[in-house]
């Protein structure tokens, strides 16, 4: 019998141990972080630290928790995760604190996994559910999708500062909303085809309905709040949806209905070097539209979705996203997307030609 643990298959995990989202939370963050270790290594992106670093440092110092700081840059890749492990061991840290966006937080989670330590995440943008999920999306150093790294634990503590998120560029909350919407679009495709869905898959699907309702009703108001750098009830609710609820849906549906074509197309797009500057959620939003075309949804539904995504600030075509759309590039994207394990969740066989044709159709529809 093997002693190896496989987080993907061996057990269910759903949410972080502790989650906080309220104004003023950074000023008291130290007393909550210190529950999880004697000394922490803080890994933060440069911009994130400019926005939140002073408050975190003051709170850590005030709580008496010693810490060292390293700056994250580039990709969430094995090299950056191992750098975190090395720095933690060199400085005697038994706790990792990740600060920043999805790649920074995923790298911190991966580093903590390799180290065998607790991890605290402090998202300064709400562009993905990386802050709460038990998974790190790993890329190569050059930015191409590599693999999903399934972790033994969700983060131990998640600290969400709404004022920092409200003051971030609007594109981040837009991307987070689009990424979260994929849980509904992919879920409604996959779930009905499950012969004997588990309680967990059923719960994931029911929660995706709530997610869709919440985002449909409040996403536009939230984007307006962030455009004005204001915190309001809809921002709190949508941030909780993007960061927390999306992560729960992903965890509950992990083995049966975690994803499908929308995320597979995202992963396919990473073969285009021009896509590496685009946010994850923007590429997933594009993937949702390809997903709808692959399903042969009605023209009116697809056009309504395009219109709504444009209202949220997405440019829903390769041309408008600044990506190449010639035959060779379309073929490369389609082949990588179809080869992705998430495409296997589609209830019918998807071929590269089908993906290529859908991409061309979308370009014709959007112009």
pTM: 0.92
Mean of pLDDT values over 46-69: 97
| pLDDT at residue 367 greater than cutoff 80 | no
Asked whether the beta carbons of 200 and 252 are under 8 A apart, the reply is: yes
Q: How far apart are CA 290 and CA 357, in angstroms?
A: 9
The domain locations on the chain are 9-166, 170-366
Q: What is the chain's mean pLDDT, rounded?
A: 95
- In the chain, what percentage of residues exceed pLDDT 70? 100
| pLDDT at residue 256 greater than cutoff 90 | no
Q: List, in sequence order, every residue forming a beta bridge with 41; answer none if it has no partner.
A: 68, 96
Q: How far apart are CA 34 and CA 43, in angstroms?
A: 16
Mean of pLDDT values over 255-275: 92
| pLDDT at residue 353 greater than cutoff 70 | yes
Question: How confident is the model at residue 144, as a pLDDT?
Answer: 87
| Active-site entry in 280, 296, 326, 329 | 280
| pLDDT at residue 329 greater than cutoff 80 | yes
Asked whether the beta carbons of 290 and 359 are under 8 A apart, the reply is: yes
pLDDT in tens, 95-119: 999 999 999 999 999 999 999 999 9
User: Which of 47-56, 58-67, 247-256 has the least mean pLDDT?
Assistant: 247-256
| pLDDT at residue 2 greater than cutoff 80 | no
| Active-site entry in 78, 106, 263, 291 | 263
Mean of pLDDT values over 225-242: 97
Active site residue 179: yes
Question: How confident is the model at residue 145, as a pLDDT?
Answer: 87
Question: How confident is the model at residue 195, as a pLDDT?
Answer: 92
- In the chain, what percentage of residues exceed pLDDT 90? 90
Active site residue 280: yes
Active site residue 86: no
Structure tokens belonging to residue 162: 């709404």
Q: Is 9-166 CATH 3.40.50.1970?
A: yes
| pLDDT at residue 311 greater than cutoff 70 | yes
Mean of pLDDT values over 281-309: 97
| Active-site entry in 54, 146, 221, 266 | 266
Comparing CA positions, the residue from 283, 78, 90 lying closest to residue 171 is: 283
| Active-site entry in 179, 326, 328, 339 | 179
Question: How confident is the model at residue 8, as a pLDDT?
Answer: 85
Question: How confident is the model at residue 9, as a pLDDT?
Answer: 85
Question: How confident is the model at residue 129, as a pLDDT?
Answer: 95
Mean of pLDDT values over 124-153: 94
Mean of pLDDT values over 27-49: 97
The superfamily (CATH) of domain 170-366 is Dehydroquinate synthase-like - alpha domain (1.20.1090.10)
* The two domains 9-166 and 170-366 share their CATH topology (first three levels equal): no
Confidence of residue 1 (pLDDT cuts 50, 70, 90): low
Asked whether the beta carbons of 124 and 72 are under 8 A apart, the reply is: no
Mean of pLDDT values over 228-247: 97
């Amino acid at each position: 019998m093997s002693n190896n643990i496989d987080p993907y298959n061996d057990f269910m995990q759903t949410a972080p141990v502790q989650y906080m989202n309220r104004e003023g939370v950074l000023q008291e963050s130290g007393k909550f972080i210190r529950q999880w270790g004697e000394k922490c290594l803080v890994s933060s992106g440069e911009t994130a630290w400019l926005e939140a670093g002073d408050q975190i440092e003051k709170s850590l110092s005030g709580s008496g928790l010693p810490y060292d700081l390293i700056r994250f840059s580039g990709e969430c890749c094995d090299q950056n995760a191992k750098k975190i492990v090395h720095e933690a061991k060199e400085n005697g840290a038994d706790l990792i604190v990740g600060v920043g966006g999805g790649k920074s937080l995923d790298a911190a989670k991966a580093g903590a996994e390799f180290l065998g330590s607790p991890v605290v995440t402090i998202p300064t943008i709400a562009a993905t559910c990386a802050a709460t999920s038990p998974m790190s999306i790993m890329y190569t150093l050059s930015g191409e999708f590599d693999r999903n790294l399934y972790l033994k634990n969700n983060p131990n503590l998640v600290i969400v500062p709404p004022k920092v998120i409200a003051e971030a560029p609007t594109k981040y909350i837009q991307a987070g909303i689009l990424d979260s919407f994929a849980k509904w679009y992919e879920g409604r495709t996959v779930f009905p085809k499950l012969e004997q869905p588990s309680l967990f898959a059923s719960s994931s699907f029911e929660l995706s309905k709530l997610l869709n309702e919440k985002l449909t009703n409040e996403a536009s108001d939230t984007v307006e709040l962030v455009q004005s750098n204001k915190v309001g009830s809809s921002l709190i609710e949508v941030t909780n949806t993007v960061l927390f609820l999306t992560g729960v849906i992903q965890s509950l549906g992990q083995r049966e209905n975690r994803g499908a074509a929308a995320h597979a197309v995202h992963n396919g797009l990473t073969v285009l070097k021009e896509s590496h500057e685009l946010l994850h959620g923007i590429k997933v939003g594009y993937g949702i539209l390809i997903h709808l075309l692959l399903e042969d949804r009605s023209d009116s539904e697809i056009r309504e979705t395009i219109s709504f995504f444009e209202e949220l600030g997405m440019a829903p075509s390769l041309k408008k996203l600044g990506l190449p759309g010639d035959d060779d590039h379309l073929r490369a994207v389609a082949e990588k997307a179809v080869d992705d394990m998430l495409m296997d969740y589609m209830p019918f066989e998807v071929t590269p030609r089908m993906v290529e044709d859908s991409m061309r159709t979308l370009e014709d529809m959007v112009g």
